[in-house]
Amino acid sequence: MTVASPAPHKMSARGVSVSYGDKQAVKDVSIDVDMDKVTAFIGPSGCGKSTFLRTFNRMNDTIASARVTGEITLDGEDIYSPDMDVVQLRARVGMVFQKPNPFPKSIFENVAYGPRIHGLASSKTDLEGIVERSLKRAGLWDEVKDRLSDSGTALSGGQQQRLCIARAIAVDPEVILMDEPASALDPIATAKIEELIHELRGRYAIVIVTHNMQQAARVSQRTAFFHLGQLVEYGETDNIFTAPREERTKDYITGRYG
Amino acid sequence: MNPFALSFVILGLGLIGWLTARARALRFDRGGAKRLHSLPAQHGWFVAMWTVLPPLLFLVVWSAVSPGLVRQTVLQSPTAAGLSDFAFERDSVLAQAREVAKNPYDTEADPLARQLAPVVRAARNRYAWTGTAAAALLAFAGAAFALSRIRPDFRARSKVERTLMMGLLVASLIAIFTTIGIFASLFWESTRFFSQVPITQFLFGTHWSPQVIDAKDPGASLGAVPLFWGTFFIGAVIAMLVAIPFGLMSAVYLTQYASATTRRWMKPTLEMLAGVPTVVYGYFAALTVAPAVRKLAVLLGDPFASSESALAAGLVMGVMIIPFVSSMADDSLAAVPTAMRDGSLAMGATTSETISRVLVPAALPGVVAGVLLAVSRAIGETMIVVMAASGAATITLNPLQSATTVTKQIVDLLTGEAEFDSPKTLAAFALGLTLFVITLLLNIVALRVVKKYREAYE
């Protein structure tokens, strides 16, 4: 047996910059994301944290003017290399958006969408199993098990967002990106989402963008602070919030701006 | 004075009223107030409206009423004693008298009419002058009344705005009343038809041959089912088989795949199809497509195939409808939130999976509404079928055979020699009414679907 090498990072970004036309939104950011950790990106609006998050599953590809430079790897593989199939990448790196966006289909069909397009279920029973398991993991099963054929858009905002998380889980991704997942929800729904993030940790590498610093402190183990497109500071959440190294981080978390 | 010149005079009076009122308003003693409620020009408009509108409205009413008054006067004159009691003959003589009054050198007229002519002329003159005088009086009275109300604190602005609002309301009501009028006249003529032919025979009869009508049982050859079938077959089946896939696919391409540059020239070009006059499509159908379809039919083993096939008319109609379907589908696809698209792409769906599984289903109500509107347009379309479809009313499923439509038959029934109270001619109105009702229902359903769908995303 060989000596175990230090655990490689699940995803790594090296010198990543993103620009829209002439405007540079993210400047030279390097960061690592690990399997059993929740990583939070914080910073004032327009600091590039969401843009940067979208480079992790190449969602910036859908914006014609966006250009990404630098290197991002998933299990050591460059996700921007021509060999990387974007469909497979997104199956491995799922995403939950700021505003809940269930499809105008039934609850069941929303969760079954991913398994269907990726051919994950071999039979109807199999598919039902995946849907049930995903809804359970997303903490939504008990609320919807009797009305799986109702429209997903008829649920409350918080339930819709958990449905979107269930939908993302259903394709069994390795990484889940969450772009301000609770910013459109009320405090109770937000608490449920945060609780859910706790439960999902360990099974998936989770990256969450938030403008709510208490939320970052509550759910994450690592925090990255962005300002004006640059990564100002990145480290253990406890350290960032109690002993920030950078003046700008300190100003932001003490509420001096942002 | 002729009404045209009179209107000009009234407008002139209105202008004078405007200028007077404005001049007076400009000289108002402001009494320390910095601003008056209304601008001088608004006082002017107030007076101009009072000067112009009452006499013009009066003239409109008068021109409708005065012929009746002239007739009354003429009938009461001693010369009219010699008129026949028989209404038809009396009206004929009166009509001739009116002609002679205009043109005294008409020597072929009835002698009594020639005697009546001076009476007609005198009565006409009298009422014309009465009308003119009344209009002038109204103009001056209106102007005087309005001018008397003009004071610094008078709220002319509100009055003018109100009148403008009423004018706009009338303008919008005209379209509505015209629709009601069309419907009423169609309905009236149709009831005359249905008094001669039972409605069930017309709606469910399967034999249509208006050229040979048995006077005892006109309904037997006026069964409209073959026409309804032909209309449905050409407009709602063949045309839609062309228009729906091509319209939908072009909308998908334009919204999801095309670059901004491509879209910029391709969309207007496609929409130009909607601007081509339908008679041009008619040529195209009759001269290009129909012979080609006939050749196909011959190849398929029918040496006597007609060149007037349902397929030729339906194909061209379908092409004509493409822009309707495409632009409605385009709008509905564009209205699906980007979040749907992103959500699907982030799941690892390809663009085509995203379109077929998320975007098109989400846009479906809008697409359906577009298709309904397109169908209602297709079944009301006339020129293409007049030029390319045949007059033979057959019920067939074979697109290479000839078929006819409701619109084509209406044209056939109303052209050429026709009496306006025969069942044959009246049948055209009944067909028109049926078509009107069907397209109206399609439009209502389509608009409801669109409305419901809009609510879902707002």
- List, in order of start, the domains of chain A with CATH numbers: 11-103+173-253 (3.40.50.300)
Establish if B198 belongs to a structural domain.
no
Judgement on whether residues B450 and B328 belong to the same structural domain of the protein = yes
Give the CA dihedral A198, A203, A209, A211, nearest 10 degrees.
Answer: 0
- Tokens representing A246? 């950078």
What pTM, to 2 d.p., does this model score? 0.73
Arithmetic mean of pLDDT, B424-442:
90
Interval A65-76 mean pLDDT: 92
Output DSSP code: residue A255.
T
Q: At what angle do helices B260-272 and B310-335 cross, to 10 degrees?
A: 140
Query: Are B141 and B223 found together in one domain?
Result: no
Q: Residues B304-357: pLDDT tens digits?
A: 777 788 899 999 999 999 998 998 899 889 888 889 999 999 999 998 999 999
Domain boundary among B138, B154, B170: B154
Q: Which of B107, B135, B154 is the last residue of a domain?
A: B154
Q: Does pLDDT of A93 surpass 90?
A: yes
A174 burial via Cβ count (<10 Å: 0-12, 13-18, 19+): middle
Is there a contact between B431 and B227 (Cβ–Cβ < 8 Å)? yes
Q: Is residue B175 part of a domain?
A: no
Among A161-165, A191-195, B264-268, B416-420, name the one with the lowest average pLDDT.
B416-420
Q: What is the pLDDT of residue A141?
A: 94
Q: Does B361 touch chain A (CB under 8 A)?
A: yes
Is the pLDDT reported for residue B168 higher than 90? yes
Query: CB B349 to CB A87 under 8 A?
Result: yes
B209-252, pLDDT tens digit by residue? 888 777 778 878 888 898 999 999 998 999 999 999 999 999 99
Which of B333, B341, B347, B452 to mutate to test binding with chain A, by most A CBs within 10 Å of its CB? B347
Asked if residue B172 belongs to a domain, the reply is: no
Count Cβ atoms within 10 A of the Cβ of residue B133 and give its class: 0-12 exposed, 13-18 middle, 19 or more buried.
exposed
Q: Which residue intervals of B77-110 are DSSP H helices?
A: 87-102
Domains of chain B: total: 2
Residue B334: what residue type? A
**Whether pLDDT at A193 is above 60:** yes
A215's tokens: 């939320």
Instruction: Note whether B372 and B230 are same-domain residues.
Output: yes
Q: Is residue B170 part of a domain?
A: no
pLDDT beyond 80 at B33: no
Report whether B214 contacts B290 (CB < 8 A): no
CATH number at residue B353: 1.10.3720.10
End residue of a domain, out of B154, B174, B190: B154
Among the partner residues B340, B345, B350, nearest to A103 by beta-carbon distance = B340
Kindly state whether residues B117 and B253 are assigned to the same domain. no
Question: Is B61 part of a structural domain of the chain?
Answer: yes
A17-50 per-position pLDDT tens digit: 999 988 999 999 999 999 989 999 999 888 889 9
Partners of B342 on chain A (C-beta within 8 Å) are 59, 62, 97, 101
Whether A182 contacts A193, CB under 8 Å = yes
CA pair distance A15, A69, nearest whole angstrom: 8
- On the question of pLDDT at B365 being above 90, the answer is no
Confidence band, pLDDT 50/70/90 cuts, at residue A1:
very low
- What backbone torsions phi and psi does residue B83 show, to the nearest 5 degrees? -70, 150
B240 shares a domain with B134:
no
- Residue B427 is assigned to a structural domain of this protein: yes
Q: Rg of chain A over CA atoms, in angstroms?
A: 18
Nearest CA in chain A to B362: A104
- Range in A157-161, B28-32, B64-68 the model is least confident about: B28-32
Overall average pLDDT of the B376-398 stretch: 84
Is residue A201 scored above 60 in pLDDT?
yes
| Interchain CB distance below 8 Å, B347 and A91 | yes
CB burial class (10 A; 0-12, 13-18, 19+) of residue B269?
A: exposed
Instruction: Confirm whether B212 is domain-assigned.
Output: no
Q: Is the pLDDT of residue B106 over 70?
A: no
Q: Do B347 and A99 touch (CB under 8 A)?
A: no
Query: Which residue does chain B place closest to A89, by CA atoms?
Result: B348
Is pLDDT at A124 greater than 50 in this prediction?
yes
| Strand ranges for B92-161 from DSSP E | none
ipTM confidence: 0.88
Mean pLDDT of chain A: 90
Inform me whether the pLDDT recorded for B297 exceeds 50. Answer: yes
Same domain, B147 and B263: no
Residue B418's pLDDT band (boundaries 50, 70, 90)?
low
- How far does A10 lie from chain B, in Å, by closest CA? 19
Residue B330 sits in the same domain as residue B234: yes
Q: How confident is the model at residue B39 (pLDDT cuts 50, 70, 90)?
A: confident
Residue A195: pLDDT band (50, 70, 90) is very high
In a domain, B189, yes or no: no
Residue B143 shares a structural domain with residue B265: no
Do residues B227 and B133 both lie within one domain? no
Give CB contacts under 8 A, 24+ apart, made by B338-345.
B339/A97, B339/A99, B339/A101, B340/A101, B340/A103, B340/A104, B341/A62, B342/A59, B342/A62, B342/A97, B342/A101, B343/A97, B343/A101, B343/A102, B343/A103, B343/A164, B343/A167, B344/A103, B344/A113, B345/A59, B345/A62, B345/A90
Do residue B117 and residue B229 come from a single domain? no
Indicate whether B12 and B143 sit together in one domain: yes
Rounded to the nearest angstrom, the minimum Cα separation between A119 and chain B is: 11
CB contact under 8 A, A117 and B357: yes
Question: Closest Cα to residue A168, out of B358, B350, B349, B363?
Answer: B349
Whether residue B101 sits in one domain with residue B8: yes
Helix (H) or strand (E) holding A200: helix A187-200
| Residue-number span of the structural domain to which B245 is assigned | 218-457
Give percent of chain B above pLDDT 90: 32
